[in-house]
């Protein structure tokens, strides 16, 4: 009988280990999916004498609503983005004020990341 108890205890320990490993995998996979669902990147920036042209893309897998993206130019809040951005979609904004003859700092904050870009006007 003594050998049977040892076999059962080994089986129970293996089942507990597999259960903990499976739970950890599901938790970590869910966190990674959430972090990569709504990623913004800057495709292009340019500036005429008074305004900044900004082209961004959603590299994530979920649609980003306009209220989820904030823009700051030279530490001044320019509000939310003006339209929703589909996955792999591109959006353009041309109405951002720039300081002529100076370096301008653009900060874009999305649900999964934030980006800074410097541009001279």
Answering whether pTM is above 0.85, one says no
- Please tell me the class of the 40-120 domain: mainly beta
CA dist 41 and 25 (Å) reads 28
Low-confidence ranges of the chain (pLDDT < 70): 1-2, 31-36
The torsion angles phi and psi of 39, rounded to 5 degrees, stand at -110, 125
Residue 33 to residues 28, 30, 58, 65, 87, Cα–Cα distance (Å):
9, 5, 15, 18, 14
Structural domain spans, the chain? 1-35, 40-120
Check residue 1 and give its pLDDT. 57
Check residue 15 and give its pLDDT. 93
Which residues on neighbouring strands pair with residue 104, listed in sequence order? 119
CA dist 57 and 120 (Å) reads 22
């Amino acid at each position: 009988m003594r050998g049977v108890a040892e076999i059962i205890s080994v089986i129970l320990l293996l089942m507990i280990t597999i259960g903990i490993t499976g739970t950890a995998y599901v938790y970590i996979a869910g966190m990674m999916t959430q972090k990569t669902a709504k990623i913004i990147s800057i495709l292009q920036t340019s500036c005429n004498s008074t305004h900044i042209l900004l082209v961004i893309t959603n590299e994530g897998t979920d649609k980003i609503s306009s209220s989820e993206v904030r823009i700051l130019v030279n530490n001044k809040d320019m509000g939310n983005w003006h339209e929703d951005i589909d996955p792999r979609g591109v959006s353009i904004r041309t109405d951002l004020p720039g300081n002529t003859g100076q370096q301008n700092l653009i900060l874009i904050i999305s649900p999964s990341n934030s980006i800074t870009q410097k541009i001279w006007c």
